[in-house]
Amino acid sequence: MKRIKITSGEYVYFARLEEESAPKSCAWFLNKLPFKSHISQGRWSGKAVFIRLGTTAAELGYENATSYPQNGDVVLYPGDATRGGGEIYMPYGPNEFSCEYGKIAGSRFLTIIKNQDSLPKFGELVHWDGAQEIVFELE
């Protein structure tokens, strides 16, 4: 089982890659490691943060798609080649995965297995203090 370390400031999480249920999404993500970006508060979804991907994942399609991820789920929305909009999405409380066009779904490709209890504090930091740097790397 491959594990991913997720770091943003003082917040460090460890996640399991969901290679059986989302093999294409996991393979795509592994090829991006180490993945460095900024994570922002979601505008349409409730208590969730996200990373913009543009069209970089548009060819992936959907695997084990959900519109209602739980705390600890990390979801990849591939977007599409014409409108873009792909993102990595992490809920930290009640949410419904949405965009300005309405409800969307994404593939759960990571599950946070360590330090999940601090997700609400991390989400509130992003909500009130703005985008934060974040790094995903193989453990």
The CA distance from 96 to 93, in Å, is: 10
Question: From the CB of residue 19, how many other CB atoms can be counted at a distance below 10 Å?
Answer: 15
Answer yes or no: are the C-beta atoms of 49 and 40 closer than 8 Å.
Answer: yes
- Domains present along the chain, CATH in parentheses: 3-138 (2.40.100.20)
Q: Which residues pair with 47 in a beta bridge?
A: none
Which residues 6+ apart lie within 8 Å of 66 measured at CB? Answer: 73, 75, 97, 105, 106, 108
The mean of the pLDDT values for the chain is: 94
Q: Per-residue pLDDT for 100 more than 90?
A: no
Of the pLDDT bands very low, low, confident and very high (cuts 50, 70, 90), residue 32 is very high
The pLDDT score that the predictor gives to residue 54 is 87
pTM of the shown model? 0.94
The CA distance from 112 to 122, in Å, is: 14
The pLDDT score that the predictor gives to residue 82 is 75
Mean pLDDT of 85-114: 92
pLDDT tens-place string over residues 82-91:
766 899 999 9
The pLDDT score that the predictor gives to residue 9 is 97
pLDDT tens-place string over residues 3-26:
999 999 999 999 999 999 999 999
Q: Tokens 């999404």 correspond to what residue?
A: 25
Question: Which of 77, 74, 133, 128 minimizes the C-alpha distance to 106?
Answer: 77
